[in-house]
Amino acid sequence: AQSVTQLDSQVPVFEEAPVELRCNYSSSVSVYLFWYVQYPNQGLQLLLKYLSGSTLVKGINGFEAEFNKSQTSFHLRKPSVHISDTAEYFCAVTRGYSTLTFGKGTMLLVSP
């Protein structure tokens, strides 16, 4: 079975500061990893994904994530956040023909 752990339920940061949202997964086989963002009262939007190849993945809105197989991590980073980045962020994993498993989510709170 696969599982996802998002270590922080909330991350408060000031505008223009860098941020890292942590995600660790467990699986005995190769996985595919995703980060989704959910703005208030909206659906989920795909930020970025890792399927194979380069371990550094760039996504929309200036976000990037690095797949680290030895540490089973897929942390999300942004060098400078905006107020508009305030949202819930979900890390998710799938093993191939299995269903998508979500982490519990991290609320990013950006203040001026």
Partner 1 sequence: DTEVTQTPKHLVMGMTNKKSLKCEQHMGHRAMYWYKQKAKKPPELMFVYSYEKLSINESVPSRFSPECPNSSLLNLHLHALQPEDSALYLCASSLIAGAETQYFGPGTRLLVL
The nearest distance, CB 53 to partner 1, in angstroms, is 14
Strand partners, 108: 11, 87
Q: Out of 25, 34, 35, 63, name the contact with partner 1 by CB under 8 A.
A: 34
97 makes contact with partner 1 (CB under 8 A): yes
Q: And the tokens for 25?
A: 């997964």
Q: Could you give the CA distance from residue 93 to residue 32 in angstroms, rounded to a whole number?
A: 6
Please answer whether residues 29 and 95 qualify as being in contact, where contact means their C-beta atoms are separated by less than 8 angstroms: yes
Q: Out of 32, 66, 72, 86, name the contact with partner 1 by CB under 8 A.
A: 32
Residues that bind partner 1 (CB under 8 A): 32, 34, 36, 41-46, 49, 51, 90, 94-100, 102-105
